[in-house]
Amino acid sequence: MMKIIAVLGIVMVILCSTAASQNESGFGIGIIAGEPTGIAGKTWISQTTAFAGAAAWSFREEAAFHMHVDYVLHSFDLIKIDKGKLPIYYGIGGRVKLADDSKVGVRIPVGLDYLFEGAPVDVFVEIVPILELVPETEFSLNGGIGVRYFF
């Protein structure tokens, strides 16, 4: 299990550093509150796609460390607003939850991401169905609200 965590961490660092150097939008870091609660990050890889992830604590069932990375696509044309942008995003990713009964699963995030006009900040809300694959197959649901500052 520790090898899986190390590989996921290395992949996240490589993806985030590579994408940040390729895109003017940069890398954002902040917090997410909900299930899980912790540090959230995002890096844009194009004008409509990004990698988003978190290292956080899950307080459902048992206190457990939670890491996830998602590939998300943004639809900017569905909701029109006067200031800033409000894309709907959706995607797929993976999650590792470390506890006495550790779990590995697939995430399908869906959310709204408000991008402030003239400020390197976003606010997001998401709901995420999860299909646990290891140690057994089961369905769960995460959700949260967060804010990130972009460099």
Q: Which two tokens stand for residue 38?
A: 């912790």
Residue 25 has what pLDDT?
67
- For 13, residues 6+ apart whose C-beta sits below 8 A from its C-beta are none
With a threshold of 0.95, does the pTM exceed it?
no
Residue 118 has what pLDDT?
92
Could you tell me the domains of the chain?
2-150 (2.40.160.20)
> What are residue 120's phi and psi, to 5 degrees?
-85, 50
Residue 95 has what pLDDT?
97
Sequential pLDDT tens for the chain (151 residues):
444 444 444 444 444 444 333 323 689 999 999 999 999 999 999 999 999 999 999 988 678 999 999 999 999 999 999 999 999 999 999 999 999 889 999 999 999 999 999 999 999 999 999 999 999 999 999 999 999 999 9
Buried b (16+ CB within 10 A) or exposed e, 74-98: beeeeeeeeeeebbebebebbbbbb
